[in-house]
């Protein structure tokens, strides 16, 4: 029987089987004609997590109430919460939440931002006044204003910006080892501009009352190693794909795949890749494929050209950094694709022809039966590695399909099999 080798990139073996804690809360759903994506980090610092969760819940509920009231006219709406999260000097936990909403009820998309700087030593939130000497406040206000004028000369409302800067304790800000970053809701200080406004000031130019290690080196990852997979082009083959991860369930899914000598294709959301870096590296080491599913799960076909390309490129970059692999496949968010999307990327857009709908029901047996009924040689199956029930669904699915003599391959391997078969005809 003919066989061929697929060379893949692999990394060091990830050992241990302890259950992973949730690191990113992810909710992706559709409600009241609205595509909803909510993501925010879990720090396991109770006080900070409670504050963040409360803010997310309030924003989400406010939007839902509005959509529910006008559901008949609120078509093609979107609600998205994105985040950044990092630690500075081992005791500053810093989170940024970006809120985006859009619907026919709004004349323009709505962008909002919240920032959280938490000191784990004092166990409290910090404002700028806690970190910057009082004698430097006026100087900092002038510097921020100059940066705003330089970056947003055509839309900045100068008097409004000065008013906003008059009480610096309420400013949205974050920092790392190089810069302080300041954020402004555009509706407060600008005209005709709708996205979050951001400026940065080098730390050396700010009179801090705290000591920071400046210019900390960025995290690097070990080089990849090569491994192989043996694929039989004559055997019935299917590709199982996973969207919206990684998550705290992804390692359990990898355990199931490994048990059945299966490989899958994981279409990942870029803003979670580094937080789940060990999981990502394990994915690749064990012969799975990584695809691109945008950076923050925004509705790609609704974005302008610049933001569309940014959503894709940011994920390409972070996956390459963490795993050494550059994705060649793209799974569009919400399954929405158009010519603008296809023409904006060189990645191959991959859809599916069997939908498990694992997000919709907890009835594992029903999902498995329907999926097997619709599966045939060459099928691409969609699942979601953010759902707990998906682990059980996958286990039952592979067990039954293995008895039907299927092999479980990546999307790229499935493409190669189809090419080889076509060549032989």
> Would you name the residues annotated as active-site residues?
243, 384
Sheet with 34-41, edge to edge strand ranges = 24-31, 34-41, 77-88, 92-102, 110-119, 124-125
User: Kind of pairing, strands 236-245 and 380-384?
Assistant: parallel
Neighbours of 8 (CB within 10 A): 21
In the beta sheet, which residues pair with residue 225?
Answer: 10
């Amino acid at each position: 029987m003919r066989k061929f080798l697929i060379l893949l990139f692999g990394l060091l073996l990830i050992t241990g089987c302890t259950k992973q804690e949730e690191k990113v809360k992810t909710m992706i759903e559709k409600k009241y004609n609205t595509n909803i994506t909510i993501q925010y980090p879990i720090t396991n610092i109770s006080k900070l997590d409670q504050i963040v969760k409360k803010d997310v819940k309030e924003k989400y509920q406010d939007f839902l109430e509005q959509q529910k009231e006008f559901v008949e006219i609120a078509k093609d709406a979107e609600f998205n919460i994105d985040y950044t999260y990092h630690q500075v000097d081992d005791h500053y936990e810093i989170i940024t939440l970006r809120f985006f909403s859009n619907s026919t009820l709004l004349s323009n998309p709505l962008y909002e931002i919240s920032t959280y700087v938490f000191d784990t030593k004092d166990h409290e939130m910090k404002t700028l006044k806690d970190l910057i000497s009082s004698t430097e406040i006026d100087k900092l206000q002038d510097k921020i204003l100059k940066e705003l004028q330089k970056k947003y000369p055509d839309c900045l409302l100068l008097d409004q910006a000065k008013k906003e800067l008059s009480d610096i304790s309420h400013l949205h800000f974050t920092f790392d080892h190089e810069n302080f970053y300041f954020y402004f809701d555009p509706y407060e200080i600008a005209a005709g501009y709708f996205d979050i406004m951001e400026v940065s000031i080098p730390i050396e130019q700010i009179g801090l009352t705290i000591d920071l290690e400046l210019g900390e080196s960025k995290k690097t990852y070990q080089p990849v190693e090569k491994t192989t997979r043996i694929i039989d082009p004559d055997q019935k083959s299917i590709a199982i794909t996973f969207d919206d991860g990684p998550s705290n369930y992804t390692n359990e899914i990898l355990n199931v795949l490994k048990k059945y000598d299966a490989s899958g294709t994981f279409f990942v959301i870029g803003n979670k890749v580094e937080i789940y870096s060990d999981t990502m590296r394990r994915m690749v080491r064990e012969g799975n494929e990584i695809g691109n599913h945008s950076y923050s799960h925004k509705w790609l076909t609704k974005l302008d050209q610049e933001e569309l390309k940014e959503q894709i490129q940011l994920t390409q970059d972070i996956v390459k950094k963490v795993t050494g692999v550059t994705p060649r496949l793209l799974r569009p968010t919400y399954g929405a694709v158009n010519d603008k999307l296809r023409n904006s990327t060189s990645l191959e857009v991959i859809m599916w022809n069997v939908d498990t709908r694992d997000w919709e029901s907890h009835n594992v047996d029903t999902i498995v039966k329907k999926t097997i009924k619709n599966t045939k040689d060459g099928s691409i199956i969609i699942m979601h590695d953010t759902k707990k029930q998906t682990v059980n669904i996958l286990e039952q699915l592979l067990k039954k399909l293995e008895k039907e003599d299927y092999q479980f391959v990546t999307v790229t391997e499935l493409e190669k099999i189809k090419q080889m078969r076509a060549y032989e005809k």
